[in-house]
A and B are shown apart, each in its own frame.
Chain A
């Protein structure tokens, strides 16, 4: 392919959330890396612009400093604070407000967890927290399950993006219900970003092939044998899945259809 053909083939609509155009459809977390250095190199290799962080107490005993900001260049990355670990709407709202007071932006990746074993969301509390935070001026990206009705309600409640899970957080099981993800994408107007459950590059590719706008992942990188190489693989997989979606796959058939002409065969 010539360079101009390659550029034409890669053409895509911009990825915009709440008026902000993002340069990558891959968003990454910053948790569970072996070292800050490994995290920084993996994020760099992923090409991500949006990077998630969590709000926690400062360790006042000073023997360890677990702060993540000294390792992230704020001119290069867009910080997306989460409300991970919150089990009710009031706590999630409190964490979101603490994060906003840090002064970076008004965005929040809203999580309200309903169950410790599965980390599945409490969708009623999620809707309540979404309404409160939207009314308070937040740009809410709501982590939810793969349920269409909840996704529609979140959109109605003013969520700037809806983030259905592929499978439970940290499970690496990949997309368990591509039909649900596709249906949510078809029905919502706001961006749909699959958050949680992607385990390896093929999962990311299949996820993007469903037509969603982006993916957020953390453990798939941090828990990989080589997080930096996996981050590179995920970057390629997200691009590949997106391009395959835009290209439109061939129809599935239950019978073989020859690729070579059936005429012109020798007698």
Chain B
């Protein structure tokens, strides 16, 4: 792993394949709001587990190294 300048207040989850620094204590719900993504329009997978109940997003606290995938439907055949 590369050395990173981690803010003492920040954690760095990997969101859609990219590291993103968020404030310590942030939930996935906070992350979505920060990204201006409507939770109703997406499906979230946290550490390979699908969050079926969207009301849980506001209680799922992020940690450094967490994997978060935010997906939706695009055109396809």
A residues with a Cβ closer than 8 A to B are: 29-33, 39, 52-58, 60, 62, 66-69, 79, 81-82, 84, 94, 97-99, 101-102, 169, 196, 216-219
B52 A101 Cβ-Cβ under 8 A: yes
The residues of A that contact B36 with a CB separation of less than 8 Å are: 62
Contacting residue for B17 out of A57, A69, A169, A196, CB 8 A: A57
The residues of B that contact A99 with a CB separation of less than 8 Å are: 43, 73
Contacting residue for A29 out of B15, B17, B37, B76, CB 8 A: B76
Main secondary structure of the interface of A (DSSP, over half): mixed
A67 B73 Cβ-Cβ under 8 A: yes
B residues with a Cβ closer than 8 A to A are: 15-18, 35-37, 41-43, 45, 48, 50-52, 69-77
A58 B72 Cβ-Cβ under 8 A: yes
In the complex, the chain B residue whose C-beta lies closest to that of A196 is B77
B75 A69 Cβ-Cβ under 8 A: no
CA distance A69 to B40 in the complex (A): 12
Contacting residue for B75 out of A58, A68, A79, A169, CB 8 A: A68
B71 A98 Cβ-Cβ under 8 A: yes
A53 B50 Cβ-Cβ under 8 A: no
The residues of A that contact B70 with a CB separation of less than 8 Å are: 57-58, 60
Expressed in whole angstroms, the minimum distance between the Cβ of A139 and any Cβ of chain B is 17
Expressed in whole angstroms, the minimum distance between the Cβ of B57 and any Cβ of chain A is 12
